[in-house]
Structures are given as structure tokens and as C-alpha cells.
């Protein structure tokens, strides 16, 4: 993988560049194996894969079944080069393309959490922040485009393999895994704290400051045509005036000549009859 870069940089032969590539290849294998096992185990906890894959070792706490599955798949793909000469190139381009897509999604998720959930407790804080994530998104996007478009030795086999893998995984998710997907315990804890942090942040944002209160009062004055908005005392006085007007109207109605009798509702008295048995003088 690294032979071309070493050959261009240091003008070395294929033998020497291969010797330089061996340490990097062997050192990256445990890291990728560990990451793939944890990712598969996390997906199994959400029921995207069988629950047996999320079981961990009693002593070491490692996802042993997930590690066995990923190791067996990786070891099985190594035999593909024995039957197809172009298999190594197809595997490399496919893995690099999906790797750049995964890294881009991680950066987008980081920006979303950074903007939406600022108060979540974090064990690590990136010194580059959102700007660094934006630069990383641009770099990984260019890498994905270079894999798809600017590879001279790439044939249509690699692109076809990417499309097939993407189609198979999409069908598996929508037809089988989507209906069974749940939120794992770790996700529930994280989302709970995220929800609480978001709620507290929104309360702080919506809290009325003196400056906001003054601005709101000015807007109300402009909407009322220059008049100041009614205070609490004025509102109470208006309510009292309306009640007095209603009482005056009721008294005037009682003093009308030839008015129908309206019995007072006193304790123990029955309400006036309604319907067909009502007094004809009370019907309209």
C-alpha cells in the first residue's frame, strides 16, 4: 500500500519500500481489529446484529464473539486474491472509500453535538474544535472523490463492488434491522444527559434579561401607537369597571316595567323549569 509513496519520496526499490511498509501494516492491524470488534458489538447492543455478538469476556471485558467474527471475515477475504488477481485492489479501494465516509460522518456528528449539546460532559475535548472538524470533512471528501474519479489503475470492478456492498447493507437495514433496532443502555444514558443539558441550555437562553424586557416593552409601545402598555394596576381597574358595568345593567333590567320575573338563586330553591313546561312568559 505504501510502496508508491515511499518510492516517490525516497527513490527506493520495491524491496526496500516493502520492508518499510511491513511495520506500518502490522501495527495498524490490532487497532483496526479492536475498533471493528467494538463497533460490531455496539451495533449488536442496538439489535442491528444478533445479540450474541455483544457478549463480553468475563475477565477482560472484550467483545470476544465480535472479534472472532471480524477476524474470520478478514481472514476469509485474504483468500480472494488467490482466485481473483484484482481482488486486492478492489478490497483496498472499497475499504478506503467506506472509511472516508465513516470518518466524514464522525466529524459531522461531532459538529452536531458541539453545536446542539454544548453542556454534555466530555472525556476529551478537541483543541481544534469545530474548525478542525470542518477541515477534516473537506479532506475526507476529497479523498473519497479521488478514490472514485482520479484513480488511473482502477477499473469498474471496484465501483461495482462499492455499489453492491452499499445496496446489500441498505437492504439488510431497511428490511430486517430497522424494525428491530433499539437504543442501547449506553445510548440511553448519553441521550438522557444530552436531553437534560439541552433543556437547561434552553432555559438559560430564554431567560428574560433586563435588556430583553426593555426591548419587549418598547415593541409593545410601538404596537399600541405610542401608548404605554397597561400595567397590572390598570388591568385590575379595567376588570373592576367591567364588573360594575355588568352589575348596573342587571339592576336596570330588574327595574324595567312589565319585565318577566327572574327568581333569585338562593340556597334551597329549585331552578326555573325549562322546555315545554316552562312559563310561557319566559320563552322568546
Is residue 273 scored above 60 in pLDDT?
no
Quick one: 71 and 144 in the same domain?
Answer: no
- What is the share, in percent, of the chain residues with pLDDT greater than 90? 11
User: SS3 for 1?
Assistant: coil
Quick one: 50 and 85 in the same domain?
Answer: no
Quick one: 93 and 74 in the same domain?
Answer: no
Q: Among 29, 62, 78, which residue terminates a domain?
A: 78
**Residue 128: DSSP 8-state:** S
Amino acid 25: pLDDT: 77
Provide the b/e sequence for 141-163 (b: ≥16 CB within 10 Å). Answer: eebbeebeeeeeebeeebbebbe
pLDDT higher for 174 or 236?
A: 174
Amino acid 108: pLDDT: 93
Residue 194 inside a domain? The answer is: no
The length of the chain is 284
* Average of per-residue pLDDT values in the chain: 76
Residue 236 inside a domain? The answer is: no
Amino acid 134: pLDDT: 93
CA dihedral 168, 72, 155, 138 (to 10 degrees): 80
- Total domains in the chain come to 2
Quick one: 35 and 61 in the same domain?
Answer: yes
Q: Among 162, 184, 206, which residue terminates a domain?
A: 184
Is residue 13 scored above 60 in pLDDT?
yes
Average pLDDT score over residue span 155-160: 79
Cβ atoms of residues 222 and 214 within 8 Å: no
Residue 177 inside a domain? The answer is: yes
Domain of 157?
81-184
Is residue 228 scored above 50 in pLDDT?
yes
pLDDT category of residue 170 using cuts at 50, 70 and 90: very high
pLDDT category of residue 253 using cuts at 50, 70 and 90: low
Cα(231)–Cα(227) distance, rounded to whole angstroms? 12
User: SS3 for 117?
Assistant: coil
Quick one: 4 and 61 in the same domain?
Answer: yes
Q: Among 78, 111, 126, which residue terminates a domain?
A: 78
Is residue 243 scored above 80 in pLDDT?
no
User: SS3 for 12?
Assistant: coil
Low-confidence winner among 9-18, 43-52, 198-207, 251-260 (lowest mean pLDDT): 251-260
Quick one: 17 and 85 in the same domain?
Answer: no
Single pTM value for the model:
0.59
Quick one: 116 and 131 in the same domain?
Answer: yes
Average pLDDT score over residue span 219-231: 58
Quick one: 87 and 65 in the same domain?
Answer: no
**Residue 229: DSSP 8-state:** P
Long-range CB contacts (within 8 A, 24+) of 104-108? 104/136, 104/137, 104/140, 104/141, 104/144, 107/133, 107/134, 107/136, 107/137, 107/140, 108/133, 108/137
Q: Cα 133 vs. chain centroid, distance in angstroms?
A: 17
Amino acid 138: pLDDT: 95
Cα(277)–Cα(284) distance, rounded to whole angstroms? 14
Is residue 52 scored above 60 in pLDDT?
yes
pLDDT higher for 11 or 70?
A: 70
pLDDT higher for 265 or 124?
A: 124
Amino acid at each position: 500500500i505504501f510502496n508508491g509513496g515511499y518510492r516517490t519520496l525516497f527513490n527506493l526499490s520495491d524491496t526496500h519500500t516493502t520492508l518499510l511498509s511491513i511495520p506500518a501494516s502490522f501495527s495498524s492491524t490490532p487497532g483496526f481489529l479492536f475498533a471493528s470488534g467494538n463497533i460490531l458489538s455496539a451495533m449488536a447492543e442496538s439489535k442491528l446484529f444478533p445479540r450474541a455478538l455483544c457478549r463480553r469476556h468475563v475477565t477482560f471485558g472484550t467483545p470476544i464473539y465480535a472479534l472472532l467474527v471480524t477476524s474470520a471475515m478478514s481472514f476469509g477475504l485474504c483468500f480472494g486474491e488467490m482466485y481473483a488477481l484484482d481482488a486486492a485492489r478492489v478490497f483496498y479501494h472499497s475499504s478506503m472509500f467506506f472509511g472516508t465516509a465513516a470518518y466524514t460522518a464522525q466529524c459531522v456528528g461531532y459538529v452536531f453535538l458541539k453545536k446542539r449539546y454544548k453542556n454534555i460532559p466530555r472525556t476529551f475535548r478537541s483543541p481544534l474544535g469545530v474548525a478542525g472538524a470542518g477541515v477534516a470533512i473537506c479532506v475526507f471528501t476529497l479523498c473519497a472523490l479521488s478514490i472514485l474519479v482520479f484513480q488511473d489503475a482502477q477499473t469498474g470492478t471496484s465501483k461495482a463492488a462499492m455499489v453492491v456492498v452499499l445496496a446489500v447493507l441498505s437492504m439488510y437495514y431497511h428490511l430486517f434491522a430497522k424494525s428491530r433496532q433499539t437504543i442501547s443502555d449506553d445510548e440511553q444514558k448519553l441521550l438522557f444527559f444530552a436531553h437534560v443539558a439541552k433543556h437547561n441550555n434552553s432555559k438559560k437562553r430564554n431567560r428574560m434579561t433586563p435588556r430583553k424586557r426593555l426591548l419587549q416593552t418598547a415593541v409593545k409601545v410601538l404596537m399600541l401607537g405610542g401608548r404605554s402598555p397597561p400595567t397590572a394596576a390598570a388591568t385590575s381597574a379595567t376588570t373592576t369597571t367591567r364588573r360594575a358595568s355588568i352589575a348596573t345593567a342587571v339592576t336596570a333590567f330588574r327595574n324595567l316595567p312589565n319585565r318577566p320575573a327572574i327568581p333569585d338563586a338562593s340556597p334551597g330553591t329549585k331552578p326555573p323549569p325549562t322546555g315545554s313546561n316552562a312559563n310561557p312568559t319566559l320563552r322568546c
